[in-house]
């Protein structure tokens, strides 16, 4: 599905294309994986769906899968922003939610449970949801002046990070991000309606 056209400034979000871990449902934080062949195809398709978008600036996670998605989508001059890196999953990196649920004996939800749920985890502390929200808030604060000047801002990043970024834009509890499903290479738009920050479009995927 294409992004609806508008002349109103907005924050446009693009999740990276498929990787082997995203295809398997594994938490992929700072592990720097490339796109699969399917992921590269998704990125090119996202570029076609964003044809005509003329962002004032494109910001990108510094991780390879996001950088390559931006490049294949046609946004070769994207600016790396460390605040757009994916959630640092620490002990749950590389595991699926089903695997984590089996270990802890109950259904696992990262937005509710965080990353410090495994006994004897030794993969580093990772980030809390509040940590990720602070990064998202910093980015929104940097983007607002460009939006206020009439420019659209494109963000190429990751599933969980972008879901938290949406909660920062809406100024709601970041736990709400659990309700915002986001597929690989999906496109979203955040804007303003009647003086309130709003979601104009969400999880637009090729169809």
pLDDT number for residue 15: 98
Let me know if 82 is exposed, middle or buried by CB neighbors in 10 A (0-12, 13-18, 19+).
Answer: exposed
Of 1-5, 128-132, 138-142, 155-159, where does mean pLDDT reach its minimum?
1-5
Q: 3-state DSSP helix/strand/coil percent for the chain, to nearest 5? A: 40, 15, 45
CATH of residue 159: 3.40.50.1240
**Model pTM score:** 0.95
96 located within any domain? no
pLDDT averaged over the chain? 95
User: Is 80 exceeded by the pLDDT of residue 207?
Assistant: no
Q: What tokens appear for 207 in the block? A: 């169809």
Does the pLDDT at position 27 exceed 80? yes
pLDDT at 14: 98
User: Does some domain include residue 184?
Assistant: yes
Give per-residue pLDDT as tens, 156-204: 999 999 999 999 999 999 999 999 999 999 999 999 989 899 999 999 9
Q: Which helix (H) or strand (E) holds 170?
A: helix 159-170
* pLDDT at site 9: 84
Q: What is the pLDDT of residue 206?
A: 82
Asked whether the predicted pLDDT for residue 4 surpasses 80, the reply is no
Q: Does 110 fall in a domain?
A: no
Q: Is residue 6 very low, low, confident or very high in pLDDT (cuts 50, 70, 90)?
A: confident
Q: Is residue 83 part of a domain?
A: yes
Alpha-carbon gap, residue 102 to 9, rounded angstroms? 45
The per-residue DSSP string of 36-105 comes to: PHHHHHHHHHHHHHTTT---SEEEE-SSHHHHHHHHHTT-TTPEE-GGGSPP--GGGTT-BHHHHHHHHT
Q: For residue 187, give its domain range.
A: 11-89+128-204
Instruction: Check residue 26 and report its DSSP letter.
Output: B
Mind telling me the catalytic residues? 16, 86
112 in any annotated domain: no
Determine, yes or no, domain membership for 4: no
**How many structural domains are present in the chain?**
1
**Per-residue exposure over 123-147, b if at least 16 CB sit within 10 Å of its own CB, e if not:** beebbbbeebbbbbbebbeebeebb
| pLDDT of 107 higher than 70 | yes
Closest CA to 26 of 159, 167, 195, 176: 159
Residue 120 lies in a domain: no
pLDDT of residue 47: 97
Coil/strand/helix, residue 21: helix
Is residue 70 one of the residues assigned to a domain? yes
Is residue 123 scored above 70 in pLDDT?
no
Please report which confidence band the pLDDT of residue 121 belongs to, taking 50, 70 and 90 as the band edges.
Answer: low
Tens of pLDDT, residue by residue over 46-92, are 999 999 899 999 999 999 999 999 999 999 999 999 999 999 999 99
């Amino acid at each position: 599905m294409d992004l609806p056209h508008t002349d109103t400034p907005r924050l446009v979000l693009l999740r990276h294309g498929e990787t082997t871990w995203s295809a398997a449902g594994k938490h992929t934080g700072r592990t720097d994986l490339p796109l699969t062949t399917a992921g590269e195809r998704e990125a090119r398709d996202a570029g076609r769906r964003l044809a005509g978008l003329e962002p004032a600036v494109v910001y990108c996670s510094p991780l390879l899968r996001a950088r390559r998605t931006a490049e294949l989508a046609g946004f070769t001059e994207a600016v790396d922003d460390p605040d757009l890196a994916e959630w640092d999953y620490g002990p749950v990196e590389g595991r699926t939610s089903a695997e984590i649920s089996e270990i802890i004996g109950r259904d696992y939800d990262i937005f509710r449970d965080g990353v410090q749920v495994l006994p004897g985890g030794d993969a580093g502390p990772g980030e809390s949801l509040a940590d990720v929200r602070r990064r998202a808030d910093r980015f929104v604060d940097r983007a607002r002046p460009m939006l206020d000047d009439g420019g659209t801002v494109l963000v190429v990043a990751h599933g969980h990070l972008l879901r938290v970024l949406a909660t920062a834009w809406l100024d709601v509890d970041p736990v709400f991000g659990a309700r915002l499903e986001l597929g690989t290479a999906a496109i979203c738009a955040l804007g303003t309606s009647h003086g309130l920050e709003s979601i104009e479009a969400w999880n637009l995927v090729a169809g």
